[in-house]
Structure 1
Amino acid sequence: MSAPVRGRSTRVRPAPNRRPKSAEYRARRRIILRRRLVALLTLLTIVGLTYSVFFTPLLGVHQVDVRGSVVLTEDEVRATAAIEPGSPLVRLDLRGIHDRVAAIPRVAAVEVERQLPGTVRLLITERVPVGSVKMPDGFHLVDATGKDYAVLPTAAPGAPELFLAAPSPSDPATRAVVGVLNELPEKLRPDVLQVAATSGADVKLTLTGNRVVKWGSSDDTPRKAAVLQVLLTRPGTTYDVSSPDLATVS
């Protein structure tokens, strides 16, 4: 008798739970569209901010702050700077503003700064006179560079009167005079009433008490000043320090 044949049991595995292909496609598409929308909104925001900053008064100039002016008024400086109210701060021509303000004769130096959200600051340094030259139209103020920068009806207070034919930074006599005055020690300055020169080698100082100092050129001014301070302890009316090693009193 033959043995019975056992049949093989077949197990049917359940199919994985998958969403229809069309549903998966739609989900991916929604993610892509969402990302594109975010990118578009970001781009539009950047464009809008850039346009607002560069082309609208949103970050425009609302104030021009002037610092350091002494004789010049703040309104004079602002008028020369010519900064249009509401002009976009980031598009300002700082070099142009600097050059316009620097062209004011009394201005020795100027710095231009942007300050958010809407301020332009102008830091002014005015020229200081080392002396004044009497001319037909008044007293011309001369600064430490030899520049003739202003005219007053009277001499500059606290500064000596200068005797120069034509004060100018390019004039040898002017350069010699301001060179001496720039290096004079503080102790001597109050005694100096007048300074004269016709060339770069014949500077002469007139001091209080009708005393005259023959200075010569502006070379070796510190040494000449030190020698002069010693000579002034001696009585005399004329002090010659043009050659400091051979200084004389008479």
Structure 2
Amino acid sequence: MSTQAARRRPGAGNPGSRPAARRRPSRRPSRADLHRRKVVRRRVGTILAMLVVTVVVCTVWFTPALGVRQVEVHGIADLTGDEVRTAAAIEPGTPLVRLDVDAVAARVRELPRVAGVEVERVVPGTVRLTVDERDPVAVINAPEGVHLVDATGKDYATVVQPPDGLPELKVSPDALGAAVAVLTQVPESLRRDVLSVTADSPSDVRLALTAGREARWGSSADTSRKAAVLAVLLTRKGTVFDVSSPELPTVS
């Protein structure tokens, strides 16, 4: 007699077989676990940040990645850009952050025509030099040429032809400061009439004016008051106007 084998599921009807294992439910992390994870993340973040900062500092401070590639010169009139760059003596490739701007400025100020200079770092690789050149207020005629004198009394350059409209200084060395002080403090309307300034001493400044007139100034003290008195005196006839004592001016 033929029999049909019954289909059975694995383990079915087998009393010795084990039941299928149940999946254990996942355990929620405790507060201590969460705290440890947060601490680890913070430490890893701190380490990464320190690495980034270290790389940036090394790149900026020790490599030419942000080094000087160009030196711009602004504000020049009589000087040339090459003259200023040569005086600045900035080595190409020098990291910008390590550039001694005070030393650069001091070297540029050694040029006689330079009254001042501003040094700027411009990322990624430019140094900008803004130069303030001296402006002449008077000239001194000498055998070797015409000396230009600025408002500080500095004799800073020698040229062949003097600039138009500048008075001549005929002064002793110790009287140069007083003569320039008078010349730069008088009103522009009077300064246009000054042809020359003569002084044998700081207390004996005299202004040669147009139309053959002379203003005897004395010292550079009370210049604004003397200028106001002289403006009134010049309305009178005369050739010599003495305001050295502004309380007692005279005309002759």
* Correspondence for 2:163: 156
Distance 1:94 1:209 in 2: 51
Shift of 1:223: 1.0
For 1:187, which of 186, 189, 204 is the aligned residue? Answer: 189
For 1:100, which of 97, 104, 107 is the aligned residue? Answer: 107
TM (norm. structure 1) is 0.81
Distance 2:151 2:158 in 1: 16
For 1:245, which of 224, 244, 247 is the aligned residue? Answer: 247
For 2:176, which of 174, 177, 192 is the aligned residue? Answer: 174
Tell me the secondary structure at the aligned position of residue 188 of structure 2.
Answer: coil
| C-alpha contact (below 8 Å) 2:114/2:133 kept by paired residues | yes
Tell me the secondary structure at the aligned position of residue 189 of structure 2.
Answer: coil
| C-alpha contact (below 8 Å) 2:172/2:201 kept by paired residues | no
- Unpaired runs of 5+ residues, structure 1, are 1-15, 20-27
* Correspondence for 1:9: none
Distance 1:241 1:32 in 2: 85
Distance 2:232 2:128 in 1: 49
TM (norm. structure 2) is 0.80
Distance 1:177 1:193 in 2: 13
C-alpha RMSD over aligned residues: 2.5
Distance 2:190 2:89 in 1: 43
The one-letter code sitting in structure 2 at the alignment partner of 1:213 is A
Shift of 1:165: 3.1
* Correspondence for 2:137: 130
| C-alpha contact (below 8 Å) 1:201/1:216 kept by paired residues | yes
1:208 aligns with 2:210: yes
Is the radius of gyration larger for structure 1 or structure 2? 2
| C-alpha contact (below 8 Å) 1:131/1:156 kept by paired residues | no
1:139 aligns with 2:146: yes
Once the two structures are superposed, the pairs formed by residues 28-67 of structure 1 within 5 Å of their partners are 39-67=46-74
* Correspondence for 2:21: none
Distance 2:38 2:217 in 1: 89
Once the two structures are superposed, the pairs formed by residues 227-238 of structure 1 within 5 Å of their partners are 227-238=229-240
Distance 1:231 1:216 in 2: 16
- Unpaired runs of 5+ residues, structure 2, are 1-23, 28-34
Shift of 1:107: 0.9
CA offset digits 1:76-127 (Å, max 9, x no partner): 1111111122211000011110100111111111111112222211121111
* Correspondence for 1:13: none
The one-letter code sitting in structure 1 at the alignment partner of 2:70 is Q
* Correspondence for 1:198: 200
Distance 1:184 1:29, change over 3 A: closer
* Correspondence for 1:226: 228
The percentage of counterpart residues that share the same residue type is 56
